[in-house]
Structure 1
Amino acid sequence: MALTAKNKLTFVDNTCLPPKLDDLLYGAWNRCNSMVISWILTSVSREIADSLMYIPTASEIWIDLRDRFHQSNAPRIFQIKKLLTGLHQGSMDINAYYTKLRTLWDELKDFQHVSVCNYGSMKDWANYQNQECVMQFLMGLNESYAQIRAQILMMDPIPVISKIFALVVQEEKQRSIHKDIIGSSVNLYTDQHSLTQQSSVVAAAKGNQYGKENQYIKENSSERPTCSHCHLKGHTIDKCYKVHGYPVGHSKYKQQQWNSGR
């Protein structure tokens, strides 16, 4: 990628051959060749760079590195397919789970050889690849998405994987909204229940206070003074009407009420 961005890939794939020494472009080619060699030497370990110092062209260095470190893609393909088989959503959200799958799919696709298109065969191959991706994505989902998974499997034809991903993400968002509504209802009920308990505690405290006040009144009522003459409570002998006479204007009924009550 870096060589392509700098327009220097031709110096390593041997398509930009060195001009003759007396060519006017030889100086420019030599400078570019040296620059690409310096990039390669700073991109490898010190031990490998020491073994490449005396190779004159960047293309020869590139061929040497390829022959030395080229390996078969079969072990990596096996590793990717094993990861795809064991990958499940688990605690990940839909976006993180799909991103991991997509990364492995793209890397595996890079290792696969694409055949030449003959009378629409590439369309069938693309449909097969899409179906494989959809099945792997649905198999790794948690069981809580069993309903949306069944709905997708009943579609004919099966949509592309990007459409499947959008449907499952929409289901995840709806569940999140529903969960927030339930959480708000639970919090409201908890707050109301807490207020009810607080009101009960306050009422009980007030009841205990009133009870103590009534008990105090009852206890203090037994300490009211008693007249030694008429033996009635509420006054003493120095204020007893039976000794000193009733007040002027009292009716006979009030005198009888006084005699019977006070």
Structure 2
Amino acid sequence: MADAAMPKLDDALDTGSHTKGENLPVHVTSIRLNKDNYLSWSAALEIGITSRGRLHYITGEKPAPSKTDSQWPTWALEDSQVKVWIISSVSADIQPLILRKSTAYDMWTVLARMYGRKKRVLRAYQIKRSIYALKQGDLSVASFYAALKTKWEELDYHVNDDWKCGVDHALYWEKEWMDRTFIFLGGLRDEFETIRNQILNCDEIPGIEEVYARIESEEQRRQIMHIDSHQGSSPAAFVSHTSGTGQRPTRRCNHCNKVGHSVDFCWDLHPEKRLVRGRPPPHRHASSVPEPSPGSSNVAKSKLSSDQLRELQAYISRLSTQDDASTSEGAKLAQALVATSDQGLGDGAEDWDWFGY
């Protein structure tokens, strides 16, 4: 029988059939099976085999036909291709355990029994222990949540999920995801204590996806505030940053070369503007007093206040006690000023800085 079947297999390989012409690769996944990564390996290999249309060879849905059947050569070729993919994706110490298996389905089943569910209880304990010990630490919120999700998915694979009642099953998973929400919140850093308390104080705890979204939004807000603080958005930094910019330029008079006013408001050129801004006039020499207009009195009239008048009278008394001729002339001049000031007393004091006051 075997000898009769061999020519048919050779014919399938030599006639350029559709199966031969596909030029399928030897590797369908980059993950190699070891004693600890069966979950990720089996998922990746199953995807690769499915993409080549060969999934039924590892699920047992396409058993081997009789060797006298006309489909035998095609089935044997395709099954051998799946066996090559399985052998090339396991480590060297595991390959001897499956090389002698007659079909791809036998290889897949042996590996599942050895590394899949054989130590289910022990592996579930190890995964749960690592989940409870996992903390955020220096991880971002997204990385911390992804690490938890990976462990939860592996744990679900090892848990015997054979429920008879659909309602009880739904209640179980509702409670399970509530516990996982607490684990996620409890593993966060202390900087999220405020938003964590806000979530836990709600009448109804939201789902894990909503909780994750709120925590990640808070993290992004903190990062933005941290960047702004380093760029100088604080009030003190803002003042420092804006100092020297946007300030009023210092004004300097082109006539007297003093700062604080322009030539249009220089008191030397415009004495009538001295009291416009409410400032006392500066001391100037008598040369800065404007010339009297035509028709005015030859003696400048200076209206004095009562206090200024008393001070001037005291000054005259001191001059009168001296014998010097120059002081006598000064006394006469001061008396003449007092006489002229008496005429306008009560009209308000004006500028008389040319006396030295």
Give TM-score scaled by structure 2 length: 0.48
Q: Aligned residue for 2:229? A: 182
Structure 2 vs 1, CA of residues 163 and 28 (structure 1 numbering), >3 Å: closer, same or farther? same
More deviation, 72-81/50-59: 50-59
Please say if 1:33 is aligned against 2:79: yes
Q: Aligned residue for 1:198? A: none
Separation in 2, partners of 1:65, 1:41: 11
Aligned-pair CA distance for 1:191: 4.7
Q: Which amino acid aligns with 1:38?
A: V
Task: State which of 76, 79, 93 in structure 1 corresponds to 2:126.
Answer: 79
Structure 2 vs 1, CA of residues 76 and 55 (structure 1 numbering), >3 Å: closer, same or farther? closer
Separation in 1, partners of 2:228, 2:91: 58
Structure 2 vs 1, CA of residues 116 and 180 (structure 1 numbering), >3 Å: closer, same or farther? same
Give TM-score scaled by structure 1 length: 0.64
Query: 1:144-168: per-residue Cα shift (whole Å, max 9, x none)?
Result: 2111111101112211000001111
Aligned-pair CA distance for 1:66: 4.5
Structure 2 vs 1, CA of residues 36 and 109 (structure 1 numbering), >3 Å: closer, same or farther? same
Structure 2 vs 1, CA of residues 41 and 162 (structure 1 numbering), >3 Å: closer, same or farther? same
Q: Quick check: 2:57–2:79 contact (8 Å CA) kept in 1?
A: yes
Query: 1:67-117: per-residue Cα shift (whole Å, max 9, x none)?
Result: 555631223222221221111122222112211112112221222222436
Q: Aligned residue for 1:230? A: none
Please say if 1:139 is aligned against 2:186: yes
Aligned-pair CA distance for 1:7: 2.9
Unpaired stretches in structure 2, ≥5 consecutive residues: 1-45, 245-357
Q: Which amino acid aligns with 1:82?
A: R
Task: State which of 178, 183, 196 in structure 2 corresponds to 1:149.
Answer: 196
Task: State which of 55, 59, 68 in structure 2 corresponds to 1:9.
Answer: 55
Aligned-pair CA distance for 1:48: 4.5
Q: How does 1:193-212 map to 2 (within 5 A)?
A: none
* Larger gyration radius, structure 1 or structure 2: 2
Q: Which amino acid aligns with 2:53?
A: N
Separation in 2, partners of 1:88, 1:67: 33
Q: How many residues are paired up?
A: 195
Q: Aligned residue for 1:239? A: none
Structure 2 vs 1, CA of residues 112 and 49 (structure 1 numbering), >3 Å: closer, same or farther? closer
| 3-state secondary structure, aligned to 1:185 | coil
Q: Aligned residue for 1:113? A: 160
| 3-state secondary structure, aligned to 1:120 | helix
More deviation, 183-192/172-181: 183-192
Unpaired stretches in structure 1, ≥5 consecutive residues: 196-262
| 3-state secondary structure, aligned to 2:59 | coil
